[in-house]
Chain A
Amino acid sequence: MAAATSMVTSSSFTFPSQGLRLPTRSHPCMKPQRRFLRKYASNVITATYELKPPPYSLNALEPHMSRETLEYHWGKHHRTYVENLNKQVVGTDLEGLSLEDIITVTYNKGDILPAFNSAAQAWNHDFFWESMKPGGGGKPSGDLLDLIERDFGSFERFTEEFKSAAATQFGSGWAWLAYKANRLGVENAVNPWPSENDKKLVIVKSPNAVNPLVWDYFPLLTIDVWEHAFYLDFQNRRADYISMFMEKLVSWEAVNARLENAKAQAAEREMEEERMKNEEEWKPTDDDDDDDDDEGLEMYVDSDDDSEAE
């Protein structure tokens, strides 16, 4: 199985991979971001998802998160999700879709299809590695801090709530900070009074492989609370792991960049919705068009046959 990825050498090309794994939307203005390799083998083209390394070496988060943990967590768990995803996607309708699109399709409104676990976990782990950095922790600043203070009262209250969500996700799962920009959170509903408060930060937790993309939120930060994420370093002491993550590992730069992108995408979506709404209002009907044309023709072609125009 590992041989499959090593086959991709000179006869392949890649789309430029992004430094940050950003959520995409199935949206006319947005080009889906594809991160896959085309593998050429006897005229058959297959799409393969690649295991991307964390943006730091495996020992870079020590002593807080050990090299051994990264070796297993990234090198085994994450790698297996990617390998399984490739196996589950090849030769199906999902082949060639972006990872985010596969997640949405296979989530299937909660009635999840087989490839969901692999796809979502592949995405979640990319997002997790990029949520951390050596020498991380501390406090955010600027717009991000303003929003945190607006929506949670204070940075301390936010931290408490995030840690609590991470500690109380029962079984396996994730805790998230996300930007919620959809109105009402109900599909196809229209909020008659949209306001700034519809665009807000929320903390959510999710079981197993589920992530906020399936609720149409913009994820900003995550912590993995599956036991494999902390058991080698902390055993049963999940609370200590969560505190360590907040104090020493969170990359507020990554969170900030994601927030800026989320705000931009939300604004673009809003503009697109406005434009489409205006188009509907000003669209002329078919009857009006025909009458105008006929009168124009009558005037210039035949001024004696007025009776026929009636």
Chain B
Amino acid sequence: MALRSLSSTKTLTLGLNSTSLLPHSRSLQTFSLPDLPYDYGALQPAISGEIMQLHHQKHHQTYITNYNKALEQLNEAIQKGDSSTVVKLQNAIKFNGGGHINHSIFWKNLAPIREGGGEPPKDSLGWAIDTNFGSLESLIQKINAEGAALQGSGWVWLGVNKELKKLVIETTQNQDPLVTKGPHLVPLLGIDVWEHAYYLQYKNVRPDYLKNIWKVINWKYASEVYEKECA
């Protein structure tokens, strides 16, 4: 550790938003809240502006803050060779890092109606959905059933197995990213079913939230990701 020179630290920090704990430590990338590509109120009435603001500015921000903190502590523990702490931090990293990953995808999964939100997928993804599920309606029904049945907090995903080039519907608990369900799974679209995602507007009626969110789902983004994996 003491052998790291100042010059190598400088090259590492170029172009990155990073902090160094000590002059000779490995520099660490920290994460920051991504901007939403639309106003908080732009997804109404499917999702209220109040929810979007809290969800983005409070919940997502908190995951990022805690993720950065956990990474800093992890870095320190690695430097010191403190294996006990390294292992102990894994949960905090999964929770908060997962929260950051999942929400970053989620904001891209949504779009105002006037910007294509709700427009059905065409091209290869549209075709794959019809082939695998019969129709878009049938896919939506399955995803909503899984989302409604999820106990506690979690996410429901439409993903693609990039090895098999197959579409899958999966759920994950808490903030587990989709990849925890299979190393070859790539998320195309995720729906947050934590209560904070809908409670102020839909209260206990999660099925209504699931029914309405499709009006603002951004299939363009899902198609882009699908084409990249299955080209």
A231/B151 contact (C-beta < 8 A), A236-B54, A236-B59 known: no
Q: B193-220 interface mask toward A, CB cutoff 8 Å, 1 = contact, 0 = none?
A: 0111001100110000000000000000
- Max count, chain B CB within 10 A of own CB: residue among A80, A170, A228, A232: A170
A227/B196 contact (C-beta < 8 A), A172-B152, A208-B151, A235-B58 known: yes
The one of A80, A171, A235, A236 that contacts B152, using a Cβ cutoff of 8 Å: A171
The one of B54, B173, B175 that contacts A235, using a Cβ cutoff of 8 Å: B54
The one of A170, A207, A228, A236 that contacts B58, using a Cβ cutoff of 8 Å: A236
Are B203 and A76 closer than 8 Å at their CB atoms? yes
Are B151 and A117 closer than 8 Å at their CB atoms? yes
The one of B62, B95, B195, B204 that contacts A170, using a Cβ cutoff of 8 Å: B95
- CB of A115 within 8 Å of the partner chain: no
- CB of A72 within 8 Å of the partner chain: yes
- CB of B174 within 8 Å of the partner chain: yes
The one of B95, B151, B200 that contacts A232, using a Cβ cutoff of 8 Å: B200
Within 8 A of A (CB), among B166-190: 173-175
Q: B46-66 interface mask toward A, CB cutoff 8 Å, 1 = contact, 0 = none?
A: 000000001000110010000
| A172 to B194 Cα, complex, angstroms | 9
Classify chain B: how many residues form its interface, as a range: 20 to 34
- CB of A155 within 8 Å of the partner chain: no
Chain A residues with CB under 8 Å of B173's CB are: 171
Are A231 and B196 closer than 8 Å at their CB atoms? yes
Within 8 A of B (CB), among A180-231: 207-209, 226-228, 231
- CB of B153 within 8 Å of the partner chain: yes
Are A80 and B151 closer than 8 Å at their CB atoms? no
A236/B196 contact (C-beta < 8 A), A76-B204, A171-B153, A171-B173 known: yes
CB distance from B21 to the nearest CB of A (A): 25
Chain A residues with CB under 8 Å of B91's CB are: 170
Are B153 and A231 closer than 8 Å at their CB atoms? no
Q: B84-110 interface mask toward A, CB cutoff 8 Å, 1 = contact, 0 = none?
A: 000000010001000000000000000
Chain B residues with CB under 8 Å of A173's CB are: 152
CB distance from A192 to the nearest CB of B (A): 31
Are A227 and B95 closer than 8 Å at their CB atoms? no
CB distance from B67 to the nearest CB of A (A): 13
- CB of A25 within 8 Å of the partner chain: no
Chain B residues with CB under 8 Å of A170's CB are: 91, 95, 174-175
Smallest CB-CB separation from B61: which chain A residue? Answer: A236
Are A232 and B152 closer than 8 Å at their CB atoms? no
CB distance from B205 to the nearest CB of A (A): 8
| A77 to B205 Cα, complex, angstroms | 10
CB distance from B58 to the nearest CB of A (A): 4
Chain A residues with CB under 8 Å of B200's CB are: 231-232, 235
Q: B131-162 interface mask toward A, CB cutoff 8 Å, 1 = contact, 0 = none?
A: 00000000000000000000111100000000
Smallest CB-CB separation from A208: which chain B residue? Answer: B152
Are B54 and A80 closer than 8 Å at their CB atoms? no
Smallest CB-CB separation from A80: which chain B residue? Answer: B204
| A228 to B200 Cα, complex, angstroms | 9
Are A226 and B195 closer than 8 Å at their CB atoms? yes
A227/B194 contact (C-beta < 8 A), A117-B151, A172-B153 known: yes
Chain A residues with CB under 8 Å of B153's CB are: 171-172, 227
Smallest CB-CB separation from A68: which chain B residue? Answer: B203
- Max count, chain B CB within 10 A of own CB: residue among A207, A209, A235: A235
Smallest CB-CB separation from B99: which chain A residue? Answer: A170
Chain A residues with CB under 8 Å of B95's CB are: 170
| A145 to B154 Cα, complex, angstroms | 39
| A236 to B58 Cα, complex, angstroms | 7
Chain B residues with CB under 8 Å of A117's CB are: 151
CB distance from B33 to the nearest CB of A (A): 14
The one of B62, B196, B203 that contacts A72, using a Cβ cutoff of 8 Å: B203
Chain B residues with CB under 8 Å of A226's CB are: 152, 195
Are B204 and A72 closer than 8 Å at their CB atoms? yes
CB distance from A213 to the nearest CB of B (A): 18
CB distance from A206 to the nearest CB of B (A): 11
Are A231 and B152 closer than 8 Å at their CB atoms? no
Smallest CB-CB separation from B55: which chain A residue? Answer: A236
Can you report 13 residue pairs joining A to B where beta carbons are below 8 Å apart? Answer: A76-B204, A77-B204, A80-B204, A170-B91, A171-B173, A171-B194, A172-B153, A209-B151, A226-B195, A227-B195, A227-B196, A231-B200, A235-B58
**4 A-B pairs with the lowest CB-CB distances in the bound complex, closest first:** A227-B195, A172-B152, A208-B152, A171-B174
Name A residues whose Cβ lies closer than 8 Å to a Cβ of B: 72, 76-77, 80, 117, 170-173, 207-209, 226-228, 231-232, 235-236
Other 18 A-B pairs with CB < 8 A, given A171-B173, A207-B152? A72-B204, A76-B203, A76-B204, A171-B153, A171-B174, A171-B194, A208-B151, A227-B194, A227-B195, A227-B199, A228-B195, A228-B204, A231-B200, A232-B199, A235-B54, A235-B58, A235-B196, A236-B196
